[in-house]
Amino acid sequence: MQNRITHSILFSLIVIAACPLFVYAADITGTWKAEFDTQIGLQKYTFTFTQDGDKITGKAASDIGGEKKEVELQEVKLDGDTISFVEILPFQGTDLRISYNGKISGDEIKFTRNVADFATEELVAKRQAAESQPAAEQERPQSRPRFGREVVLGPDDKPAFPAAPEGFDKMREGIARGKIETVEYDSRTVGNKRKMLVYTPPGYSTEMKYPVLYLLHGIGGDETEWYRGGSPQIILDNLYADKKIVPMLVVLPNGRAEPNDRAVGNIFAPEHVKAFENFEKDLLNDVIPFVESKYSVKTGRENRALAGTVYGRRPVAKLRPRQS
Residue 270's pLDDT is 85
User: Are 182 and 85 contained in the same domain?
Assistant: no
Q: Which DSSP string do the residues of 235-288 spell out, in sequence order?
A: HHHHHHHTT-S---EEEE-----SSS-S--S-TTSHHHHHHHHHHHHHIIIIIH
In a domain, 144, yes or no: no
Q: In what order do the strands lie in the sheet with 192-200?
A: 179-187, 192-200, 249-252, 212-216, 304-308
Range of the domain at 57: 30-127
Give the bridge partners for 298, in sequence order: none
- Residue 124: pLDDT band by 50, 70, 90 thresholds? very high
Examine the domain organization and report whether 113 and 186 are in the same domain.
Answer: no
CA angle, residues 252, 258, 259, in degrees to nearest 5: 105
Q: Is the pLDDT of residue 320 over 70?
A: no
Residues 36-48 pLDDT 10s: 887 777 889 999 9
Q: How many domains does the chain have?
A: 2
116 vs 134, which has greater pLDDT? 116
Lowest mean pLDDT, pick from 2-16, 155-169, 213-227, 276-290: 2-16
Residue 171, CA atoms < 13 Å, CB-side half-sphere: 6
Please indicate, yes or no, if residue 247 is contained in any of the structural domains: yes
Q: Which of 22-31, 145-154, 252-261, 281-290 has the lowest mean pLDDT?
A: 145-154
pLDDT, tens digit, for every residue of 239-284? Answer: 999 999 999 999 999 999 999 998 888 887 888 888 888 999 999 9
The CATH number linked to 95 is 2.40.128.20
- Give the residue, 250 or 50, on which the prediction is more confident: 250
239 belongs to a structural domain: yes
Mean pLDDT of the chain: 81
- Residues 101 and 185 reside in one and the same domain: no
Q: Is residue 67 part of a domain?
A: yes
The CATH number covering residue 267 comes to 3.40.50.1820
Distances (CA, A) of 219 to 5, 21, 47, 250, 261: 19, 28, 27, 20, 11
Examine residue 220 and state whether it is found in any structural domain, yes or no: yes
Residue 102 lies in a domain: yes
Closest CA to 122 of 134, 132, 143, 108: 108
**296, 195: one domain:** yes
Q: Are residues 228 and 122 in the same domain?
A: no
Question: Based on the domain organization, do 185 and 285 belong to the same domain?
Answer: yes
